[in-house]
Structure 1
Amino acid sequence: MSDARNENSVEALFKPFTTGKLQVANRIVMAPMTRGFSPNGVPGEDVAAYYRRRAENGVGLIVTEGTVINHPAAAASPNWPHFHGEEALGGWSNVVKEVHEAGGKIIPQLWHVGLTRKPGDLPNLEASPIGPSGLNLSGEKITEPLTENEIGDVIAAYGQAAADAARIGFDGIELHGAHGYLIDQFFWDVTNQRSDRYGGDLAARTRFAVEVIQSCRRAVGPDFPIVLRFSQWKAGYYEAKLAESPQQLEQFLTPLADAGVDVFHCSTRRYWEPEFQDSDLNLAGWTKKLTGKPTITVGSVGLDNEFGSSRGYNAHPAALNSLIERLENGEFDLVAVGRAVLADPAWTAKIRGKRTDELLSFEPSSTQTLY
């Protein structure tokens, strides 16, 4: 492909996207990235300005960093934002106002860390970590399995968070069902060894997520977008698989789609890697093919060094070539950009304006600042 073709084709990223409940100005999504700049769980003016800068520079849809639901064991840091309580929700309301004034759209990522929390972690020292079977990602028993009543309380907390998101003006919600956190712990057979209705085979292990989705849908009505982020890999367990084949992936996705997911956010570490043998489709491509639902792809977009490396990551626009080809071919609908946008608030505007020589590089130290 010629350089001219490569440059011209960037326009595919800037076509509007509409699907029933979600309309965005272009295909670029700011990926959710934990930042830890919300003391006592309250996002302040600096957080609002951080998100506004991305909207001002043309990001089509912003997904916030993980923001924790109203459960005592949902978080493992006092600086992660809450999605409950008057002060925290007031902070988020200001974030929404700033993003909307800049012409952007924004959804919160609703999060519970489950058994990635360790006993004694802040902000709630006394809260015991929770998980479907009390097992951490190594399969070690840490706590007792959740009772069905306790599961019901967590599901209700997700529903309340969804209702609050709609009330304060967000444009939808994303449920964090990836990377080994609580919802994903129900999905994975290493961490879910229950014998009741929340355990069993892969399809049965979606029940908790299905009930979370249904709770959120009841809270927000039929027209509010619900995005589900899921992954095969888990933090520290990068070769983990929920589904080993397209057939298993379909068994996993069907109940989630039927429950009311509008968009699947398919988290991979490298978007260009095929998910299964004998096909070039990545996880987002397979998910769209199997469910017919719109999908978001993600994984080292716009960088010359893939996720998981300790080196810096130079902005690398040429690496977008295959991504854009896949987008033009309809493999997926939206593209989430993480570290490139974290380090450079104007990444989207620079890509659109072909000012690639101005792109800023991501360094590990970039996470210490709200650029």
Structure 2
Amino acid sequence: MNLFEPLAQRGLNLRNRLVVSPMCQYSAVDGMPNEWHTVHLGSRAVGGAAVVIAEATAVSAQGRISPQDTGLWNQAQQDAWQPIARFIKAEGAIAGVQLAHAGRKASTLRPWEGHGPVPAGQGDWLTVAPSALPFDAGWNVPHALDEAGIQAVIADFRAAAQRALAAGFELIELHAAHGYLLHQFLSPLSNRREDAYGGSFENRSRLVREVIAAVREVWPAELPLWLRISATDWADAGGWDIEQSVQLAAQVKQLGVDLIDVSSGGLLPHVTIPLKPGYQVPFAARIRREAGIATGAVGLITTAQHAADIVANGEADVVLIARESLRDPYFPRRAAQLLDAKIEVPIQYRRAW
């Protein structure tokens, strides 16, 4: 495989293997994307990425990470996303959106305003989780979802997928990583339930499977559905791990998931993560090999050659560029030049090539 070789995903054709990872901008008002999101996402489509995935977009107001998160829980938000998706597609990229619910990590301050929960009475809201366990000391104790609450979450994901389609998105990524609600159900460290949604692997993964099924009911068969997971909690013992991740990947493949975006961590504070370039790539490689599903590699991948090697070695099918994409919106174009690969250039820019 080659980094600039197209990749078929159902009825779509990715023009290369570089994907802009969903990255929160904490810049929305009432869940509405605005000019910032238009320029941020649009410039990365101009930059040559195959897929541009909009940030973690909440399926309900309660599911926002921060008060400034984008959403897809109402018509106004759907309408605001339309010109953004349209521009991304006009520049030859696939417009994607990550649908998310933050669970017990909701109602938090955006990074440049502090850390931890929004102070009481300053725009905070009730958080929910599989069990009434706070993320960390000083965090809000979440409300444990009952059966009706779980069904409401599933319905919210389903409705948000319908709105994503109406807004013009062609790819959905479901967020089941980084300690947010779906991940909270997966991990026995945050899920202490004793009903059909807790205990065994089958029960803890039930909500993820039911959300996937609900989204696939309304998401066209010709459009891809991706799933982001944390391959491990990086816990000393008892957490979600790579073995369970492989098992989950094999199951969701049968439910209509086309690619596993493999990240890690986020469920627990104060864990030690062995950070180094490509530290999560072995997880993507193992899931690809053992579950027989396409994977995406992400995490401290900052050079063209590293990205090319990951794809060439069969460790992942796509490489998701996150912070390096913030530093350089034109990373794919620079990578193509460095690797002597051909890449389509907008007609407005061709005199520079």
TM-score (ref. length: structure 1): 0.79
Q: Given the alignment, which residue of 247, 254, 259 partners 2:250?
A: 254
Whole-angstrom distance in 2 between the partners of 1:336 and 1:211: 26
The residue number in structure 2 matching 1:8 is none
What's the % identity of the aligned pairs?
A: 28
1:205-240 alpha-carbon deviations (Å, 9 max, x no partner): 110000000010011232221110001355xx6778
1:272 aligns with 2:261: no
The residue number in structure 2 matching 1:20 is 10
1:95-153 alpha-carbon deviations (Å, 9 max, x no partner): 10111121211111111110012576699946310001121234998134211111000
Whole-angstrom distance in 2 between the partners of 1:17 and 1:322: 19
**Within 5 Å, which residues of 2 pair with 1:24-103?**
24-70=14-60, 72-103=61-92
Unaligned segments of structure 2, at least 5 residues? 108-116, 265-274, 341-353
Q: Note closer, same or farther for the CA distance 1:240–1:92 as it changes in structure 2 (3 Å cut).
A: farther
1:259-299 alpha-carbon deviations (Å, 9 max, x no partner): 221111001465633x7xxxxx7111111112211111000
Whole-angstrom distance in 1 between the partners of 2:124 and 2:252: 33
Letter in 2 for 1:130: V
Q: Given the alignment, which residue of 118, 132, 135 partners 1:134?
A: 132
SS state at 1:193 partner: coil
Letter in 2 for 1:157: D
> Relative contact order (C-alpha < 8 Å, sep 6+): which is higher?
2
1:166-208 alpha-carbon deviations (Å, 9 max, x no partner): 1221111011110000000001111101111111122321100
Q: Note closer, same or farther for the CA distance 1:232–1:204 as it changes in structure 2 (3 Å cut).
A: same
Aligned length: 320
Whole-angstrom distance in 1 between the partners of 2:291 and 2:39: 37
Letter in 2 for 1:13: L
The residue number in structure 2 matching 1:207 is 206
In the TM superposition, residue 78 of structure 1 has moved relative to its aligned partner by 2.5
Whole-angstrom distance in 2 between the partners of 1:18 and 1:108: 18
The residue number in structure 1 matching 2:333 is 349
Whole-angstrom distance in 2 between the partners of 1:178 and 1:153: 20
Whole-angstrom distance in 2 between the partners of 1:123 and 1:175: 31
Q: Note closer, same or farther for the CA distance 1:153–1:245 as it changes in structure 2 (3 Å cut).
A: closer
SS state at 1:301 partner: coil
1:106 aligns with 2:100: no
Whole-angstrom distance in 1 between the partners of 2:256 and 2:130: 23
The residue number in structure 1 matching 2:288 is 288
Q: Given the alignment, which residue of 290, 313, 318 partners 1:329?
A: 313
- With 124-133 and 36-45 compared, the bigger mean Cα shift is at 124-133
Does the aligned pair in 1 maintain the 2:96–2:171 contact within 8 Å? Answer: yes
The residue number in structure 2 matching 1:174 is 173
Letter in 1 for 2:316: F
- With 202-211 and 36-45 compared, the bigger mean Cα shift is at 36-45
Whole-angstrom distance in 2 between the partners of 1:104 and 1:249: 29
Q: Given the alignment, which residue of 302, 315, 323 partners 1:339?
A: 323
Does the aligned pair in 1 maintain the 2:263–2:299 contact within 8 Å? Answer: yes
Letter in 1 for 2:288: K
Whole-angstrom distance in 2 between the partners of 1:348 and 1:123: 44
Unaligned segments of structure 1, at least 5 residues? 1-10, 276-280, 303-316, 357-371
